Amino acid sequence: MPCMMADFEPDSGLYSHGDALDALNRSVPLEQKLAAIHEALYAQMNFVDRISVAAYDRATDLLKTFLASSPGHNDLVRYEARLSELPSLSEILRSGHPRVVNDLGIFRDGRRVHTKILEEEGYRSSYTVPLYLDGSFWGFIFFNSRTSGQLSEPALRALDVYAHLISAVVTAEMLAVRILAAAVKTAHDMVHYRDPETGAHIDRMARYARLIAQHLAATGATALDDATIERIFEFAPLHDIGKLALPDRILLKPGRLSDAEREEMKQHTVRGLEMIEAIAHNFGLEHLDGLDLLRHIAESHHETMDGRGYPRGLRDGGIPLEARIIAVADVFDALTSTRPYKPSWSNDEAFAWLRKMARSKFDEECVEALVFNAKKVKEIQARFRDSDMQPPPSPS
């Protein structure tokens, strides 16, 4: 058929409606998608003042709010609690029915700070729907209102549709992250076939990186959230993925490198970034939130605070935080391990050296975070020892 477009009057009114959920067509962060959905919902049901999504982690029984939308309000607390200690939410799973609370005051005597804050913020009623992916429970969505008596059966039916829309949007993102993690893990397993660094080095340094990130978050030094910390831990094993591209004469050299060889070795950072881009491209994940963490870890883990590192000579805060964290974790483990070209140092020697180099080479807060956790460092070393036998690649 020939194109008929010319027959349409531009002002015929056929195209006067704008898709209220156009944001869902675009590559924007989940918060923005939820905000767009909330806005569309609000146009129909203006009593829904807050939407939040909490994810459940079976391993720890923890339920955590990770997404919330309450326009015009600086967002309140992040919910974090053990599901087994929340009887009325547990009952949702037991009964298989969502929960309708027409008067949040019934929880007034409860001990949950979160519930109290919601009430103080003026929330009166709430509808809570459990979310499943392929039959397994992964979280709850909460619709909260400042008014009560609005949660009629027709309203609940409409909210069910929105709950499933939000669930679909969130799980699509969760699956993308899962795919990237699987691609990363596969690449990591392949690195083991060539890199003489043992799997134990990777196991340890990833955990040091997590200790540092958790400590920075706990002391309020930085605003790292749980998901970011977990991704740093997941991505840390890939910091040296670019070494795969180095020739044997360098990668496997038993002695010290010559200056020319060192220059070639430095290319592992740039090659690493190229490989990450290739993985992201091949899996169609270029726009994934969090991919920057992986890029920075691979490219910038040899930058130093004084700007004399490589490959770009970034300095101080210009070096992404995740790369500053990985640098300390990686070098600490390199120092305390035996390499074909060097003996191992004691932990105290390595801590002292890192402290001496802090500020000129390493982020002081990252160094202090590791030193503070000296006891946990020892536990990690006891759990992941080098052995002559190359151990199989191990998951977390």
Binding site for ligand C2E (CB under 6 A): 197, 253, 256-257, 265, 302, 330-331, 334-335, 339, 341-342
Q: Shortest approach of ligand C2E to residue 331 CB, angstroms?
A: 4
CB nearer ligand C2E, residue 237 or residue 290: 237
Q: Does 330 bind Fe ion (CB under 5 A)?
A: yes
Is residue 125 part of the contact set for ligand SIN (CB under 6 A)? Answer: no
Residue 256 partner contact from ligand C2E, Fe ion, ligand SIN, none using kind-dependent CB cut-offs of 5 to 8 Å = ligand C2E
| Choice between 131 and 202, CB closer to Fe ion | 202
Inter-axis angle of helices 364-372 and 347-357, nearest 10:
160
Round to whole Å and give the CA distance between 52 and 114: 13
**Least CB distance from residue 374 to ligand C2E, whole Å?**
19
**Which residue carries 């869902």 as its tokens?**
24
Rounded CA separation 18/327 (Å): 49
- Do 167 and 143 form a contact (C-beta atoms < 8 A)? no
Q: Indicate the angle between helix axes 291-300 and 259-282, nearest 10 degrees.
A: 170
Q: Which is nearer to ligand C2E, 146 or 312 (CB)?
A: 312
Q: What's the chain's length in residues?
A: 396
User: Can you tell me which of 49, 203, 234, 240 binds Fe ion, judged by CB under 5 A?
Assistant: 240
The binding track of 144-183 with respect to ligand SIN, each residue x by CB under 6 A or -, is x---------------------------------------
Nearest distance from C-beta of residue 157 to ligand SIN, angstroms: 20
Q: DSSP class of residue 107?
A: G
Nearer to ligand C2E, 146 or 253 (CB): 253
Write the CA distances from 96 to 21, 81, 90, integer angstroms. 30, 21, 10
Nearer to ligand C2E, 49 or 363 (CB): 363
Concatenate the DSSP letters of all residues of 141-188 into one string.
Answer: EEEEESSSS---HHHHHHHHHHHHHHHHHHHHHHHHHHHHHHHHHHHH
Q: What distance in Å separates the CA atoms of residue 210 and residue 223, rounded to the nearest whole number?
A: 14
Q: Quick one: CA dihedral 185, 188, 192, 197, positive or negative?
A: negative
d(CA 388, CA 229): 31
- Contact flag: residue 79 with ligand SIN (CB under 6 A): yes
Q: CB of 338: closest distance to ligand C2E in angstroms?
A: 10
Interface with Fe ion: number of residues (CB under 5 A): 2
CB of 97 to ligand SIN, least distance (A): 14
Residues that bind ligand SIN (CB under 6 A): 50, 52, 65, 68, 79, 86-89, 107, 110, 112, 114-115, 118, 126, 128, 142, 144
Residues that bind Fe ion (CB under 5 A): 240, 330
